[in-house]
Amino acid sequence: MIAFVFPGQGSQYVGMGKSLYEVSKDLFNEAREILGFDLAKLCFEGPESELNKTENTQPAILTVSYALLREVQKMGLITNYVAGHSLGEYTACLAAEVFSFKDALKIVRKRGELMQSAQPEGRGSMFAILGLDEETLKQICDSIGNFYVDLANLNCPGQIVISGEKEGVLKAGELAKERGAKKVVPLSVSIPSHCKLMKEASDKFAEYLKDFAFNNAKIPIVSNIDASERFEASQILEALIKQLYSPVKWQDCVRYMISRGVRIFIEIGPGKVLSGLIRRIDGSVKVLNVDKLEDVEKIKEEIK
């Protein structure tokens, strides 16, 4: 069995999608019309500072990932499951035909704007903690009395991201080192995603989504919030709203798909972040990556 998985924010880089331009002009042109700026130019040439702005990053990664997905689909490759890491769940929804590309662009652009404006600049922070288990890290977060901090991304064994108020995250990082963390890495983000500081943004997002039609999924989507399969439009909508302030349970998503018989994971989108995480979750499964147009041909050979 095969699963397609899609990366989220943090996987972007200047030059992504350039190899796809000739076969994906329609998508980049549609993105320019909807967003009001030249997304192709931003993806291919930067500047990096503009590409890294949340409201730009999200439609950029979605467009490049979807362009790559279309090329993979042209091979006639069938996937049994789809899943995405945070933002990547929207490309998973496109793969499952939950909504149109046009609507997906509008939705993730708004999502990025709401996330960016949810907290004053510099109030929130996120750290990746390497080498501590979930229970220990949760105890540390709960012990920070004066400032809010919580688990945000449970990525793979030994890699958990914490999110919250900057002072709380800093303190939790110090305590994590004292408790034996191998590494504490500040993430280059200005917003505290996947924690309750995003609840107000999530409420506004829910209102915005009322204007869009969601279809039932044609392929099971494994949801970030609880690693469960979702088919019905109402269930998918609920998960996307909750996702903003809930931890991303990526490790559980991957383990669930493996438990259902998935033996090949194909990461479709910029970078190779998810490929690395999946290998650390279970080294016995096959992991392939489609980051550029030429990778599609390599996948053909690997799947034979």
Catalytically active residues are 86, 194
Spell out where the chain has E strands.
2-6, 81-84, 124-130, 149-156, 159-165, 183-186, 221-222, 229-230, 264-268, 286-290
Angle formed at CA 192 by CA 189 and CA 194, multiple of 5 degrees? 120
241-260 burial, b for 16+ CB within 10 Å, e for fewer?
A: bbbbbbbbbbbbbbebbbee
DSSP letters, 181-219, are -SEEEE-S-SS--SSGGGHHHHHHHHHHHTTS--PPPSS
Nearest to 220 by CA among 236, 208, 207, 206: 236
Which residue type occupies 183? K
Q: CA 255, CA 42: separation in Å to the nearest integer?
A: 36
Instruction: Sort strands 229-230 and 183-186 into parallel, antiparallel or unpaired.
Output: unpaired
